[in-house]
Amino acid sequence: IGRVRAQDIHPHELPALTQFIDDVIQHGDWERDDMACRARDGVFVPARVRATYIEVFGRRCVLSVIHDLRTDRLAELGQAVRKVSHDLRNVLANAVMLAETLSTRDDPQVQRLAQGVLTSVDRAIEMCRRSLSVGSAAEPEPTPEPIALAELAREVASELPSRDIRVSVDVPASATAQADRQQVHRILLNLLRNAADAAGTSRIRIEGAVRDDGWRHLDVIDDGPGLPAGAENVRPSELARRGGGTGLGLQIAEEMATLNGGQLSLVDTGATGTRFRVWLPG
């Protein structure tokens, strides 16, 4: 199965496997069933198992063929993403029209919020357009430009949907980074949402600093209950998956940081909160 050797895998759903083998022995013909297999390294592999009953030198044997379904599932997922992106783009176009209507109101607060909606929707439409044009969710190469980090941090903080969480920004006004602005925006937004999703979080801080060697960093700190012991030894993109989430937010943030020549890391976590840090070139 892919890079996994046949002798290193086995179906882990033992009751289902036992019933399947009984059916094979009873009918003596090719039987088929879908079941997950586990590789020796612990990775789960979705598979389709076909088997038949045979006799070899008077001994009863079950001959089985295991087909790795990961490629098939990925192809189906890619097509589903393209369909969703297509329809979502149409829905977002309607949201643009509504936001543009609101932006004509005399209320400055309404105008400011409407502009924020337009900016967010335009960003979402562009992501949908890229997915449809290339047929995948692969990220484009970054387009580096000077970024005023304090300004960007305040912009992202204003987009956090939760009103129950206070977000403060403490980034030097002179701090700039050389990176793709849209991608750094996505890094911060995903880190903020990840922090906001932690049960018990009431405050999030974005702090920044500039080092003498030219590197800049932005920290996203929450006051939630912290991550499980040993989290510092795990890549950020693996943390949420181990905790039962999808892990996509931290995975996207880590990928964006790497694309821009930087790095995402978990600095510390404990009962008083968690601090993630993203390094960016100056």
Contact 100, 114 (CB under 8 A): yes
pLDDT of the residue at 164 = 83
Contact 244, 222 (CB under 8 A): no
Radius of gyration of the chain (CA): 25
Helix (H) or strand (E) holding 61, with range, is strand 59-68
The C-alpha angle with vertex 142 and arms to 180 and 212, in degrees rounded to 5, equals 55
pLDDT of the residue at 242 = 40
Q: What is the DSSP string of 182-243?
A: HHHHHHHHHHHHHHHTSTT--EEEEEEEE-TTSEEEEEEEE-S--PPTTGGGS-HHHHHHHT
Task: Please give the single-letter amino acid code of residue 249.
Answer: G
pLDDT tens per residue across span 216-252: 999 999 998 888 777 776 677 666 544 444 567 888 8
Higher model confidence: residue 231 or residue 135?
231
Site of tokens 């510390």: 268
Residue 272 DSSP symbol: T
pLDDT at 265 over 70: yes
pLDDT of the residue at 23 = 79
pLDDT tens per residue across span 79-122: 666 666 656 666 676 677 777 777 788 888 777 777 777 777 77
**Side-by-side strand order, sheet with 203-210:** 166-170, 203-210, 215-222, 273-281, 263-270
